[in-house]
Amino acid sequence: MVNVSDPDAATQLTELGPLGSTFDTDDGRLAAFYSYPENLERCWVRANMISSLDGGATDDGKAGGLAGPGDRALFSRMRQEADVILVGASTVRIENYSGAQMSLAERRERQGRGQTEVPPIAIVTHAADFEHDARIFTRTEVPPMIMTCRETVPEANARFGSTAEVVDASGSHTDRVDPAVVLAIFAERGLRRVLSEGGPSLISLLTEHDLLDELCVTIAPILVGGAARRIASGSGEAHTRMRRSHLLTDDEGYLYTRYVRDGLG
């Protein structure tokens, strides 16, 4: 690692080289990079997203089109660490979500941390207009949580019955979901290690409401062009200072970044 002084900007730059230790994604060391803080008294919200080299959140309309083996390993690791997986309705539809899957070893690891064997998927939706045969209902061990607004609750209960838990996550406005209320509900249930997998509208909502503690972004060595959305895309704006926690890479040229809100652990 070589430090380079930039006299024009008066900023110290660091040249990153292949000097760090290497390890396989399945040798147990990955957990240390993605564990949540201990003894949480509130929800810690981590977002995990992927971006093309030119800033697109999708390839051919899906985030999965950008992923490689390393990204999939990190995706799995972060799910293993989470108490609950928070996802927007559009992402569930576009990526054809099913419930989280855990191996026997992963279940034992989660039990050792006092977690349930499988984290539930919590879907933020105003309309709750999913098809009955969607994989999120038919290929899951744990019924998804439908985090919706008060006006939608009766219809959603009638539509989904026992295949989902419908939760009123409204705040002062009964026609919309309040993300702070969503997190308050999670905290009451002891689901404090929150993993959000997007999509861009949900990440923007969390950012706008100053609720995002950590952002993990995989940068794929792929150019997509076109009009692909950014990983956060919405009407609200924010200016939240983050600091780098770590930076990993692999032989395929993917970069795995983790940034934590400035001032947090």
Tell me how far CA of residue 32 lies from CA of 2, 25, 90, 166, in angstroms.
26, 11, 32, 34
Once rounded to an integer, what is the mean pLDDT over residues 249-256? Answer: 94
Whether 261 has a pLDDT exceeding 70, the answer reads: yes
**For residue 193, which of 73, 76, 78 has the smallest C-alpha distance?**
78
Residue 55 pLDDT: 95
Alpha helices of the chain — where are they, by DSSP H? 30-34, 69-81, 89-94, 104-112, 135-138, 153-160, 179-188, 200-208
**3-class DSSP state of 51:** strand
Q: Give the span between the Cα atoms of 54 and 52, in whole angstroms.
A: 5
Whether 224 has a pLDDT exceeding 80, the answer reads: yes
Q: Give the span between the Cα atoms of 74 and 216, in whole angstroms.
A: 10
Residue 9 pLDDT: 54
Tens of pLDDT, residue by residue over 35-61, are 999 999 999 999 999 999 999 999 988
Both tokens assigned to 175: 């026609």
Cβ neighbors of 250 (< 8 A, separation 6 or more) are 68, 69, 70, 256
Residue 167 — φ and ψ, nearest 5°?
-125, 130
Once rounded to an integer, what is the mean pLDDT over residues 102-121? Answer: 98
Ramachandran assignment for 134, one of left (phi > 0), alpha (psi -120 to 50 degrees), beta (any other): beta
Look up the CATH superfamily of 43-261.
Dihydrofolate Reductase, subunit A (3.40.430.10)
Whether 129 has a pLDDT exceeding 80, the answer reads: yes
Residue 5 pLDDT: 54
Q: Give the span between the Cα atoms of 92 and 171, in whole angstroms.
A: 23
Q: 219 and 259 in contact (C-beta within 8 Å)?
A: no
What band does 167 get if pLDDT is binned at 50, 70 and 90? very high
Residue 29 pLDDT: 83
Sheet holding 214-219, edge to edge: 165-168, 145-148, 121-124, 84-88, 193-196, 44-51, 214-219, 255-261, 242-249
Q: Where are the domains of the chain?
A: 43-261
Neighbours of 265 (CB within 10 A): 11
Once rounded to an integer, what is the mean pLDDT over residues 164-185? Answer: 97
Residue 7 pLDDT: 53
Q: What is the DSSP letter of 151?
A: G
